[in-house]
């Protein structure tokens, strides 16, 4: 999977370092490796987009390194590959030495893994599952302002899955902890890799089952039940949170409240 570039390889070039990508003029470089001075660099072919190879080169450029967030409005497939590039670079850089025996590791040529030369331990990139849930109560939806979000956006509740917990248990626990609400009729909708830094968002719709809204101030600034046609500022289109909110609005409308 890792190869030394000759210069005549072509495609999309994802140069990544420390969670950032090289985006000259805000775009992903496209063309021959030699056009971008990448001859003799080591590269990983990490996928295909528009029938052309997408390459990861673990390298920092002096200028125009930017966050993957800049690609949020791009095609979903391209955003996913950019997220893959950033996470793999982070993984390779953090796994040069074995955590068990301290010896040097090498990158596997069969899969996205690092292998210990000494004790044969095998490491894979870490993915952190995270649930996100839109909760409906008749013609209203529960939306919250998170401490970690800037700009007054109200969104669905979300949280990381803990070790030894099912996704369903994580939803019930997170919602109870953050809002003191019980939910029922949990329905899986979709998932989305979210490379900030290495989450997999697992999205659900749910219905209100009981409890008075009481927020956890350490996690949320505010939360409330909003009528579906009087909504506050929502997360941007393209996010899974927005999709869940739109789905809930459609459900409210279809039942003609
Ligand atoms: Zn080892």
Domains of the chain in sequence order = 2-94 (3.90.79.20), 96-125 (no CATH), 128-255 (3.90.79.10)
Q: State in Å: Cα 88 to ligand 1 middle.
A: 20
Q: Mean pLDDT throughout 50-63?
A: 95
Q: State in Å: Cα 94 to ligand 1 middle.
A: 14
Q: pLDDT confidence of 237, banded at 50, 70, 90?
A: confident
| Closest by CA position to 101, among listed 126, 114, 118 | 118
The 3-state DSSP class for residue 93 equals helix
pLDDT of residue 257: 60
Residue range 71-115, pLDDT digits in tens:
988 888 999 999 999 999 999 999 999 999 999 999 998 999 999
Residue range 143-162, pLDDT digits in tens:
999 887 767 899 999 999 99
| Closest by CA position to 154, among listed 239, 77, 57, 90 | 239
pLDDT of residue 79: 93
Q: Give the residue ranges of the annotated binding site.
A: 25, 69, 98, 101, 111, 116, 119, 124, 158, 174, 178, 192-199, 219, 241
The 3-state DSSP class for residue 106 equals strand
Q: State in Å: Cα 123 to ligand 1 middle.
A: 10
Is residue 41 a contact partner of residue 31, using CB atoms and an 8 Å limit?
A: no
Tokens 């401490």 correspond to 147
Query: Strands 10-17 and 52-58, how do they pair?
Result: parallel
Q: State in Å: Cα 108 to ligand 1 middle.
A: 14
Q: State in Å: Cα 121 to ligand 1 middle.
A: 5
Q: Is the pLDDT of residue 176 over 70?
A: yes
Q: State in Å: Cα 1 to ligand 1 middle.
A: 22
Residues 6+ apart with CB under 8 A from 169: none
Q: State in Å: Cα 100 to ligand 1 middle.
A: 5
H or E element at residue 17:
strand 10-17
Is residue 179 a contact partner of residue 172, using CB atoms and an 8 Å limit?
A: no
CA angle at 81 for the pair 168 and 23, rounded to the nearest 5°: 130
Q: State in Å: Cα 178 to ligand 1 middle.
A: 41
Q: Give the residue ranges of the annotated binding site for Zn(2+).
A: 98, 101, 116, 119
Chain mean pLDDT for the chain: 94
Q: State in Å: Cα 97 to ligand 1 middle.
A: 8
Q: Give the residue ranges of the annotated binding site for a divalent metal cation.
A: 158, 174, 178, 219
């Amino acid at each position: 999977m890792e190869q030394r570039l000759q210069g005549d390889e072509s495609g999309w070039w994802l140069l990544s370092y420390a969670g950032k990508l090289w985006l000259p003029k805000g775009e992903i470089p496209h063309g021959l490796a030699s056009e971008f001075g990448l001859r003799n660099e080591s590269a990983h072919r990490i996928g295909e987009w528009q029938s052309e190879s997408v390459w990861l080169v673990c390298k920092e450029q002096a200028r125009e390194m930017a966050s993957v967030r800049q690609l949020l409005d791009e095609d979903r497939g391209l955003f996913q590959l950019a997220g893959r590039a950033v996470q793999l670079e982070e993984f390779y850089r953090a796994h040069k030495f074995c955590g068990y025996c301290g010896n040097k590791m090498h990158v596997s040529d069969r899969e996205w893994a690092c292998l210990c030369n000494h004790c044969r331990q095998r490491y894979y990139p870490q993915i952190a599952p995270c649930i996100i849930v839109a909760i409906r109560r008749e013609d209203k939806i529960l939306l919250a302002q998170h401490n970690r979000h800037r700009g007054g956006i109200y969104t669905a509740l979300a949280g990381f899955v803990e070790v030894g917990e099912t996704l369903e248990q994580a939803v019930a626990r997170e919602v109870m902890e953050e809002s003191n609400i019980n939910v029922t009729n949990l329905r899986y909708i979709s998932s989305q890799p979210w490379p900030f830094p290495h989450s997999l968002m697992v999205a659900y719709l749910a219905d209100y089952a009981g409890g008075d809204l009481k927020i956890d101030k350490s996690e949320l600034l505010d939360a409330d039940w909003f009528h579906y046609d009087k909504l506050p500022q929502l997360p941007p289109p393209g996010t899974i949170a927005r999709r869940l909110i739109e789905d809930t609005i459609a459900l409210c409308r279809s039942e003609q409240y």
